[in-house]
Amino acid sequence: MKEKFLIKLEDIYKRYCELSEKLSDPAVISDTALWTKTAKDQSELTETAQKYEELLSVLKQKTDAEEALKTEADPEMKELLSAETEECARRAEEIKDELKILLLPKDKNDDRNCIMEIRGGAGGEEAALFAYELYRMYLNYCEHHRLKVEVVDVNETELGGIKEIVLNISGKDAYKQLKFESGVHRVQRVPETESQGRVHTSTATVAVLPEAEDVDVEIKDEDIRIDVYRSSGAGGQKVNKTETAIRITHFPTGIVVTCQDERSQLKNKDKAFKVLRSRLYDYYSSQNQSAYDEHRKSLVGRGDRSERIRTYNFPQGRVTDHRIGLSLYSLDTFMMGDIEEMTEALAVAEREAQLAGEE
């Protein structure tokens, strides 16, 4: 019996061919909107269709070699044909594995920009300092991957730490690259303020939300209140003398968003609405309050030391992700933004879990 996923592939390939033909249809070409939609639909199937074509080619090559082997009398040629048959069989299995991954359900938010929220958790000033270091780590990562980072709101401490910072991160597959960072990050190290040299444990929380489009969420005027106030800061020149900071309260959900990073009230308002839409998109995607609370808890927990997705152990120079049990002994470069090995391992683990669920 033919494998289920091969039957599915035949349907996908048939659809891909139909769409390819449509792209050359004069009636479709003359309709810009229709042609654009058809091209987009075809593009989404191209990688799978081309890989399926490769599989068909390898399987045909294998069949031809097997047929030739039945009538071949020359021992040397038989050996070559037998080797070709085995190689084709091996390659066919490799391609099937690649196709199974391509057929996995894709996260519809992967290609979106994202909102990242970093907050100091348990540990007082040390937690705030660690939150700042996480911000620098992600900033370096984003710069290396050509992702644009805009600060929406920040609440700093006098010692240079961060109580809370909200970032808008944009660029190719921004959410896909950073979505696994949501959770409680735990740090173990000797704080600069510790005179006895004792190792302290502190936490910071990270939440990564896909950025919502205008069409994803409807925000009614009667459901919100917009307050304008003066920006706060560390004092001196950092204090804004004019009312440019924005606070938006969404009554149905109780969600409050603030933005004071820009000197322009209008820019702060635009940034605040962007964050509000993303939080509402996250909220309504959870469908109800209890599911939303559970989802947020799964992202950042309560910030307790016992709740963590990752531990940064400075005395040992080790960073460990507890979800997949992976430890890397390159904490210095990791904190400088070199986190690809970890994020790629998390993506692989997610695919393996999906594949296990499909079986």
pLDDT average, residue stretch 99-114: 86
**Which pLDDT score is estimated for 241?**
47
In a domain, 358, yes or no: no
- Ordered DSSP codes for 94-132: HHHHHHHHHTSPPPTTTTS-EEEEEEE-TTHHHHHHHHH
Structure tokens at 157: 């401490």
Contact criterion met (CB below 8 Å) for 159 and 355: no
190 shares its domain with 97: no
Residue 107 lies inside a defined structural domain of this protein: no
Give CA–CA dist 134/34, Å, rounded. 45
The reply to whether 245 falls in a domain is yes
| Total of domains in the chain | 2
Examine residue 357 and state whether it is found in any structural domain, yes or no: no
Return the pLDDT at 294. 57
Boundary (domain end) residue, out of 102, 132, 147: 102
Same domain, 336 and 187: yes
If residue 354 lies in a helix (H) or strand (E), which one and from where to where? helix 340-358
Split at pLDDT 50, 70, 90, the class of 268 is confident
The answer as to whether 328 is a domain residue is yes
Residue 359 lies in a domain: no
Domain end point (choices 77, 102, 127):
102
* pLDDT of res. 191: 81
**Co-location of 146 and 92 in the same domain:** no
**pLDDT value at position 352?**
84
Residues 43 and 146 in one domain: no
Average pLDDT score over residue span 285-290: 60
CATH code of 274's domain: 3.30.70.1660
* DSSP conformational letter for 182: -
* Residue located via tokens 């999906």: 354
* 134 and 80 both lie in a single domain: no
- Same domain? 136 vs 40: no
The residue segments making up the domain with residue 242 are 114-351
- Per the CB < 8 A criterion, the answer to whether 132 and 164 are in contact is no
pTM over 0.75: no
Same domain, 200 and 248: yes
Same domain assignment for residues 145 and 253: yes
Percent of the chain at pLDDT exceeding 70 = 87
**Same structural domain for residues 207 and 80?**
no
Q: How confident is the model at residue 44 (pLDDT cuts 50, 70, 90)?
A: confident
Answer whether residue 319 is part of any domain: yes
- For the cut 90, the answer to whether the pLDDT of residue 164 exceeds it is yes
Pair 90, 207 in one domain: no
Rounded distance between C-alpha atoms, residue 211 and residue 47, angstroms = 26
Model pLDDT for residues 21-37, shown as the tens digit of each residue: 999 999 999 999 999 99
Residue 21 belongs to some domain of the structure: yes
Backbone angles phi, psi at 156, to 5 degrees: -95, 160
Mean pLDDT in residue range 93-99: 91
Where a domain ends, among 79, 102, 125? 102
Quick one: 216 and 258 in the same domain? yes
Pair (279, 315) in one structural domain: yes
Question: Per-residue pLDDT tens for 206-225?
Answer: 999 999 887 778 889 999 89
